[in-house]
């Protein structure tokens, strides 16, 4: 007799037992690569159990609630596939295994060009941007837990709490949207510098939406996830789009772009934080400009360099002259072009050769306290 099962074969709801074919699985000891396909119709009832999701269906398609009186649900005496309902009907179970823990990499981005076209009535700005993900990642561990508390921890970094934390806000927004009460614990190992113009927080928030949708089996369409992302921040939908993109509007409308010629980027951050809101507030737009045109695909590094443009660069450089120093240092180290990404202060240098990029990164790191890394486009 299994632990937690009484001598008459009753299912002990308190120990969260479930039946999958002839096997009894205890919550928390489940190790599966992903969820089964979602099955929902009027004849199904969803039953959430610590780390396990069940669907019960009785003959005739009537919904059944196994929590109504758990002590009346009995295992089949012949060891078959199912259990008996209180009314004596054999109930067929489909087991949906929810991963209790999942890890994901959230990439950074750079803006290859960023045109600010004008200020909107809602306080946002109309933009036209060429956005590219790069191989620099935050590492997130997302764990489902009992209760309904959402916690976010980031070793080595003090995070804002509640609505000021975009990752926590992302989890709460998703759970509210799908109507689920679920405890979630998120641990972030930060590799992307914070407030650096690389989209680290937005990428983390997008990863949370995507992972919770998978873990909870809600199966939301990509467009619906992106709409949720827009409520969190202008860059979040891009990380759900998952392609190099020409982005317009506030950054939520995308046209796929072929990608980049073979290049390497040296990222340099002077270890200062720049507020995106501050950068836009100090831009000093005097009129609304017409939309920039979708750039042609560059055939080589030189053509790509000619595309580089950022309207926010002049604002941030005026307040943080070290950005200009970084750009000069990258050019002196062999970069074919440089640009500040987003609202800064991170600057990237474009290199056609990996070896040259790595040499430049080492040379710059040798006599500065700046954060430096070499990445490739995704």
pLDDT at 43: 30
Q: Is the pLDDT of residue 18 over 60?
A: no
Residues 139 and 229 in one domain: yes
CATH number of residue 307's parent domain: 3.30.70.890
What is the percentage of the chain residues whose pLDDT exceeds 70? 69
What is the arithmetic mean of pLDDT over 332-349? Answer: 96
Q: What is the pTM of this model?
A: 0.74
What is the percentage of the chain residues whose pLDDT exceeds 90? 51
- Tens digits of residue pLDDT in 285-294: 545 555 666 6
Tell which of 54, 70, 97 closes a domain. Answer: 97
What is the arithmetic mean of pLDDT over 297-308? Answer: 83
Would you state the structure tokens that stand for residue 337, as one six-digit string?
A: 């072009």
Q: Is the pLDDT of residue 170 over 50?
A: yes
pLDDT at 45: 31
Q: Is the pLDDT of residue 364 over 70?
A: yes
Q: Tell me, yes or no, whether 1 lies in a domain.
A: no
Q: Domain count of the chain?
A: 3
CATH number of residue 232's parent domain: 3.30.230.10
Expressed as residue numbers, the domain containing 170 is 101-256
The helices-and-strands tally (H runs, E runs) of the chain is: 9, 18
pLDDT band at 73 (very low <50, low <70, confident <90, very high): very low
Tell which of 192, 222, 256 closes a domain. Answer: 256
- Computed over every residue of the chain, the mean pLDDT equals 76
Catalytic residue among 213, 214, 235, 373: 235
Cα-based distances in Å from 60 to 53, 82, 88: 22, 16, 14
Catalytic residue among 109, 169, 190, 327: 109
Half-sphere exposure of 38 (CA within 13 A, CB side): 13
Q: Is the pLDDT of residue 165 over 50?
A: yes
Residues 55 and 202 in one domain: no
Give me the torsion for CA of 53, 95, 142, 163, rounded to 10°: -30
- Tens digits of residue pLDDT in 115-128: 998 887 777 788 89
Most confident of 83-87, 91-95, 113-117, 138-142: 138-142
Residues 120 and 108 in one domain: yes
pLDDT at 285: 59
**Which residues does 191 contact at the CB level (< 8 Å), separation at least 6?**
136, 137, 138, 139
34-43, 116-125, 223-232, 293-302: least confident range = 34-43
Cα-based distances in Å from 377 to 133, 263, 342: 6, 8, 16
Q: Tell me, yes or no, whether 221 lies in a domain.
A: yes
109 catalytically annotated: yes
pLDDT at 344: 86
């Amino acid at each position: 007799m299994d632990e937690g099962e009484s001598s008459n074969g009753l299912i002990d709801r308190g120990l969260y037992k479930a039946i999958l074919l002839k096997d009894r699985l205890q919550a928390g000891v489940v190790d599966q690569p992903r969820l089964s396909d979602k099955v929902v119709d009027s004849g199904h009832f969803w039953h959430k159990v610590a780390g396990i999701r069940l669907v019960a269906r009785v003959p005739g398609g009537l919904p059944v609630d196994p929590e109504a009186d758990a002590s009346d649900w009995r295992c089949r005496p012949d060891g078959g596939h199912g259990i008996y309902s209180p009314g004596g009907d054999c109930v067929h179970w489909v087991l949906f295994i929810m991963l209790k823990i999942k890890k994901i990499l959230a990439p950074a981005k750079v803006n290859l060009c960023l045109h600010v076209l004008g200020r909107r009535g809602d306080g946002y700005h109309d933009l036209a941007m060429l956005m590219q993900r790069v191989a620099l990642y935050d590492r997130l561990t997302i764990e489902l837990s009992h209760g309904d508390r959402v916690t976010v921890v980031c070793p080595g970094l003090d995070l804002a709490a509640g609505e000021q934390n975009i990752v926590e806000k992302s989890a709460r927004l998703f759970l509210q949207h799908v109507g689920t009460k679920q405890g979630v614990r998120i641990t972030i190992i930060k590799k992307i510098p914070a407030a650096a113009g690389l989209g680290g927080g937005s990428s983390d928030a997008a990863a949370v939406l995507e992972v919770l949708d998978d873990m909870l089996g809600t199966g939301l369409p990509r467009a619906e996830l992106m709409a949720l992302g827009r409520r969190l921040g202008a860059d979040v939908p891009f990380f759900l789009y998952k392609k190099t993109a020409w982005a317009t509007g506030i950054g939520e409308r995308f046209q796929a772009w072929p990608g980049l010629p073979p290049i390497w980027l040296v990222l340099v951050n002077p270890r200062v934080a720049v507020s995106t809101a501050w950068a836009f507030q100090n831009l000093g737009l005097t009129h609304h400009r017409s939309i920039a045109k979708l750039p042609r695909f560059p055939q080589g590094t030189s053509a790509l360099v000619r595309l580089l443009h950022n309207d926010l660069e002049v604002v941030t450089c005026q307040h943080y002259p070290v950005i200009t120093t970084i750009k000069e240092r990258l050019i002196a180290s062999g970069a074919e072009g440089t640009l500040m990404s987003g609202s800064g202060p991170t600057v990237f240098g474009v290199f056609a050769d990996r070896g040259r990029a790595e040499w430049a990164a080492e040379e710059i790191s040798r006599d500065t306290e700046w954060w430096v890394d070499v990445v490739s486009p995704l």
